[in-house]
């Protein structure tokens, strides 16, 4: 597989939304509202402050994606890059697609003097994903994620 990485644009909204739908279904057994999902993906693609996506392609076919959002840390005076919306087509898994995406994000973060770290969250029971992330040098933090959702 000859993987190339590129930043996604609005023309990629449908494939990103589909990958996000599959991600929610496969990892959490959730069915996402397609209207809300399409709106959210478009919002990121139109406003990089909200987030960006990178796509991994082989022969012009999108094989995987990673999304990024950002969190400023006043304690550390810098930005954590949050890796989100990780998805690789089933038939492309274990072929270096995610590694190529992760390496791209990692290199870009290292080149940005305001970036101080990478973070992501993973389902507690997703042992395969945890293994993959650890092999890339990531570690469990001392934090537990809490949320109140939805607000209304």
What pLDDT score does 66 carry? Answer: 98
Q: Count structural domains, the chain.
A: 1
What pLDDT score does 123 carry? Answer: 86
What pLDDT score does 1 carry? Answer: 84
Whether 116 shows a pLDDT value over 90: the answer reads yes
Q: Is 63 part of any domain?
A: yes
Q: Is 149 part of any domain?
A: no
Provide the terminal-to-terminal Cα distance of the chain, rounded to the nearest Å.
Answer: 45
What pLDDT score does 40 carry? Answer: 97
Long-range contacts formed by 51-54: CB under 8 A, 24+ apart: 51/84, 52/7, 52/8, 53/7, 53/8, 53/12, 53/16, 53/85, 54/5, 54/6, 54/7, 54/8, 54/101, 54/104, 54/105
Percentage of the chain beyond pLDDT 70 is 100
Q: Is 56 part of any domain?
A: yes
Is the pTM higher than 0.75?
Answer: yes
Whether 120 shows a pLDDT value over 90: the answer reads yes
Whether 136 shows a pLDDT value over 90: the answer reads yes
What is the span of the domain harbouring residue 95? Answer: 3-135
Q: Is 49 part of any domain?
A: yes
pLDDT digits (tens, 9 = 90+) for 52-97: 999 999 999 999 999 999 999 999 999 999 999 999 999 999 999 9
Whether 124 shows a pLDDT value over 90: the answer reads no
Q: Is 78 part of any domain?
A: yes
What pLDDT score does 125 carry? Answer: 87
Residue 92: CATH number of its domain? 3.40.630.30
């Amino acid at each position: 597989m000859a993987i190339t990485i590129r930043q996604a644009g609005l023309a990629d909204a449908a494939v990103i939304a589909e990958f996000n739908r599959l991600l929610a279904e496969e990892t959490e057994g959730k069915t996402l509202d397609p209207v809300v999902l399409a709106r959210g993906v478009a919002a990121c693609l139109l406003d990089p402050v909200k987030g960006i996506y990178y796509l991994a392609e082989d022969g012009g076919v999108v094989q995987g994606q990673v999304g990024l959002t950002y969190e400023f840390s006043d304690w550390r005076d810098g930005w954590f890059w949050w890796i989100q919306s990780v998805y690789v087509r089933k038939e492309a898994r274990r072929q270096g697609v995610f590694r190529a995406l992760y390496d791209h994000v990692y290199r870009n973060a290292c080149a940005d003097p305001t970036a101080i770290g990478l973070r992501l969250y993973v389902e507690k029971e997703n042992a395969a994903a945890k293994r993959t992330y650890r092999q890339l040098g990531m570690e469990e933090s001392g934090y537990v994620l809490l949320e109140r959702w939805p607000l209304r």
